[in-house]
A and B are shown apart, each in its own frame.
Chain A
Amino acid sequence: MNRYRVAVHITPRRGILDPQGRTVADALHTLGFAAVRDVHVGRHIIVDVDAADRGAAERSTREMCERLLANPVTEDFEIASVEAS
């Protein structure tokens, strides 16, 4: 068994109203970042997991996302990185 650090990005699904992202975008506009088109606020989750190899670590984290970490109705997730730790 090796230990891996898996990072997951969870974001509101496109098309679903994201009032938090919109509020942050408004604040950025107020600060003068006029080029900002859209902002989405999600979650970044880091999981330290023991697995046989990188693929197994990613597969098990993916299952964690499907079952608990992300809501399949309203959120999308992506495995951002898998690093040996």
Chain B
Amino acid sequence: MKFGIVTFPASNCDYDAYQAVVEGLGEDAVFLWHKEHDLKQSDVIILPGGFSYGDYLRAGAIARFSPVMQDVIAFAKRGGPVLGICNGFQIACEAGLLPGALLRNASLKFVCETVQLRVENSDTLFTNRYERGAIIRVPIAHGDGRYTASDETLDRLEQEGRVAFRYVGGPADADEWWSPNGSMRAIGGVVNEAGNVLGLMPHPERAVDPLLGSADGLGVFESMLARVAA
């Protein structure tokens, strides 16, 4: 299976994603240049983390109009799997592939730490190798990760099982919602209506080997492999 990883100007997790796919998962990966209209017959597209276009205007606002994104949007509309991590989540929201927006962390601080996520739905293309309710440890590193959407949108996401991951593990109760960035309803990752696009602020690609502190993120890649290669 071939993963296409988009490199925007100032992407900085594209190599992490590459390593996760090639070393962690043992599958093929290619880089896709933001100025080209070529997805190189990839089976899955990854929009990696970083600070594309310097986060000018709003995180992801400019990247969303880059040439390759027009092809990624068309690919997603045809049902192609798209994984947006961190800046990739922001870009996917700006592109209208996912509902909502990611605003400045409520603390106004850049947050860089390992957090606990609860798998809220284990029946998605991206989470089927996890148990529902499993708590996984994955790092976050962002300044603009406060997931924000209207109450109607949030209600709908919950009713349709589209909240893939929630931040949990506050100091008081390990299973309590606890948002490191002020995200509404502690949402860390959501899928689109058709279920083929996942956006999440945490970095599963940085948690694919015990040497990195956690291998819990590998399940996202294994889940895609299980569903797409099948």
In the bound complex, residues from chain A placing their C-beta under 8 Å from that of B69 are none
Q: Which residue of A lies closest to B102 (CB)?
A: A74
**Contact mask for chain A residues 26-65; partner B; CB cutoff 8 A; 1 contact, 0 none:** 0000000000000000000000000000000000000000
- Interface Cβ pair total, 8 Å cutoff: 34
Q: A82 within 8 Å of B by Cβ?
A: no
In the bound complex, residues from chain A placing their C-beta under 8 Å from that of B103 are 16-17, 74
* CA distance in complex: A73, B154 (Å): 13
Q: A81 within 8 Å of B by Cβ?
A: no
CB pair A20–B100 under 8 Å, yes or no, is no
CB pair B101–A68 under 8 Å, yes or no, is no
Q: A11 within 8 Å of B by Cβ?
A: no
In the bound complex, residues from chain A placing their C-beta under 8 Å from that of B110 are none
* CA distance in complex: A19, B106 (Å): 6
CB pair A74–B101 under 8 Å, yes or no, is yes
CB pair B106–A69 under 8 Å, yes or no, is no
CB pair A17–B61 under 8 Å, yes or no, is no
CB pair B57–A69 under 8 Å, yes or no, is yes
Given known contacts A71-B58, A74-B148, A19 and B101 CB-to-CB distance under 8 angstroms: no
CB pair A68–B65 under 8 Å, yes or no, is yes
| B residues at A contact (CB < 8 Å) | 57-58, 61, 65, 93-94, 99-101, 103-108, 146, 148-150, 182
A-B contact pairs, 5 of them (CB 8 A): A16-B103, A16-B148, A17-B148, A19-B182, A23-B108
| A residues at B contact (CB < 8 Å) | 16-17, 19-20, 23, 68-69, 71, 73-74
Q: Which 5 A-B pairs have the closest CB atoms?
A: A73-B101, A74-B101, A19-B106, A19-B108, A71-B101
